[in-house]
């Protein structure tokens, strides 16, 4: 029997059961097939979702806005300049007001606690479009992409090379929940948050997955089925760029690193890519790259989430 997810917030993959994740993935597959066949499907006709952006975006805005339209609904873009939040209105009051107008909210912001606080006072579903701590929609679509390419999830090894940031955190939760092994490979001082590591290992203990922290990229990619990377300097950290360029210099995903993984290992990147820094042109444009497949699947996965919770 299908789970009833109506009204549910999507804040962290850690909060989702394996059954909920499976339902999201199955719904994604159906909606992607319908879109490819040109079939109209409008379960959200007459529904409106607010999209609050305090961080700019390419893929998140376009995929959510187009996805909501394809589901028959309307997506309302709200930048930081469009809201009274910056003029002193509380998060609680903004959540209460928008709950009277909208059927759902997607938020892309800096502070994860602001998102949690907003969801506490919202009476409509809240979807995490990205915070400095987590990026669940990206990772759920990545998991869908991996399953699409490899047919299975359990037992695969994913090696993440780069900053222990929001992507690393959500990948740890996503792999742990689905029985995949993950190695996070970051330079000293840039490891994932210890509490996220602890929680993800609790999830992993239930599925047989493993969470490994490593600082040698060539060791990390040994026997890897998936190699994943992200920018070295995330938005809002531009003042650290020079230091980060030095700290991450040996953590580039390039041809030499790819040779140490399995012959059929696939390469992923959540984009935008800083070509020549964390990844080379030959890899991101090479035959093992599924970077643009995973970018496309943001549309289908997020449509599934919206259809299920709104």
Catalytic residue among 270, 294, 300, 302: 270
Q: Is the pLDDT of residue 263 over 60?
A: yes
Catalytic residue among 14, 181, 298, 300: 298
> Is 185 known to be catalytic?
no
Catalytic residue among 108, 244, 269, 300: 108
* 286: confidence class by pLDDT, cuts 50, 70, 90: very high
Residue 86, pLDDT score:
60
Distance CA 239, CA 282 (A): 29
Burial class (CB in 10 A: 0-12, 13-18, 19+), 81: exposed
How far does CA 83 lie from the centroid of its chain? 25
Contact, 278 vs 257, CB < 8 A?
no
183 DSSP assignment = E
> Is 108 known to be catalytic?
yes
* 157: confidence class by pLDDT, cuts 50, 70, 90: very high
> Is 96 known to be catalytic?
no
> Is 298 known to be catalytic?
yes
Catalytic residue among 142, 181, 230, 269: 230
Q: Is the pLDDT of residue 33 over 80?
A: yes
> Is 230 known to be catalytic?
yes
My answer on whether omega of the bond before 72 falls inside 30° of 0, hence cis, is no
pLDDT > 70 fraction of the chain, expressed in percent and rounded = 98
Phi, psi of 271 (to 5 degrees): 65, 150
Catalytic residue among 14, 59, 112, 135: 135
Q: Which residue ranges form the domains of the chain, and what is each CATH number?
A: 13-134+296-309 (3.40.50.1370), 138-289 (3.40.50.1370)
Catalytic residue among 138, 252, 294, 302: 138
Neighbouring residues of 125: CB distance < 8 A, sequence distance ≥ 6: 6, 7, 8, 9, 10, 104, 105, 309, 310
Cα→Cα distances 298→59, 64, 73, 121, 142, Å: 8, 8, 18, 27, 8
Summarize the confidence of residues 274-298 as an average pLDDT: 97
> Is 138 known to be catalytic?
yes
Residue 241, pLDDT score:
83
Summarize the confidence of residues 198-226 as an average pLDDT: 98
Distance CA 12, CA 166 (A): 11
């Amino acid at each position: 029997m299908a789970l009833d997810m109506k009204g549910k917030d999507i804040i962290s993959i850690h909060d989702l059961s394996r059954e909920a994740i499976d339902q999201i993935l199955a719904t994604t597959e159906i909606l992607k097939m319908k879109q490819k066949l040109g079939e109209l499907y409008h379960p959200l006709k007459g529904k409106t979702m607010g999209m609050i952006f305090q961080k700019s975006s390419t893929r998140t805005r376009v995929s959510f806005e187009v996805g909501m339209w394809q589901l028959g609904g309307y997506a309302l873009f709200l930048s930081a300049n469009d809201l009274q939040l910056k003029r002193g209105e509380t998060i609680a009051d903004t959540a209460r007001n928008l709950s009277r107008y909208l059927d759902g909210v997607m938020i892309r912001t800096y502070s994860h606690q602001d998102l949690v606080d907003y969801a506490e006072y919202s009476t409509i579903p809240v979807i995490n479009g990205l915070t400095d701590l987590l990026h669940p929609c990206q990772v759920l679509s990545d998991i869908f992409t991996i399953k699409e390419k490899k047919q299975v999830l359990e037992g695969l090894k994913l090696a993440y090379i780069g900053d222990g940031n929001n992507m690393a955190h959500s990948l740890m939760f996503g792999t742990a929940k689905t029985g995949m092994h993950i190695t996070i490979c970051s330079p000293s001082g840039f490891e994932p948050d210890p509490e996220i590591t602890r929680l993800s290992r609790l999830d992993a203990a239930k599925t047989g997955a493993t969470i490994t922290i490593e600082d040698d990229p060539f060791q990390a990619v040994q026997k890897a089925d998936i190699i994943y990377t992200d920018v070295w300097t995330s938005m809002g950290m531009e003042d650290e760029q020079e230091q980060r360029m030095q700290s991450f210099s040996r953590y580039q995903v390039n041809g030499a690193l790819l040779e140490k993984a399995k012959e059929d290992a696939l390469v992923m990147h959540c984009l935008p890519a800083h070509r020549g820094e964390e990844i080379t042109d030959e890899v991101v444009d090479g035959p093992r790259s599924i970077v643009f497949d995973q970018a496309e699947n943001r549309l289908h996965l997020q449509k599934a989430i919206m259809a299920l919770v709104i």
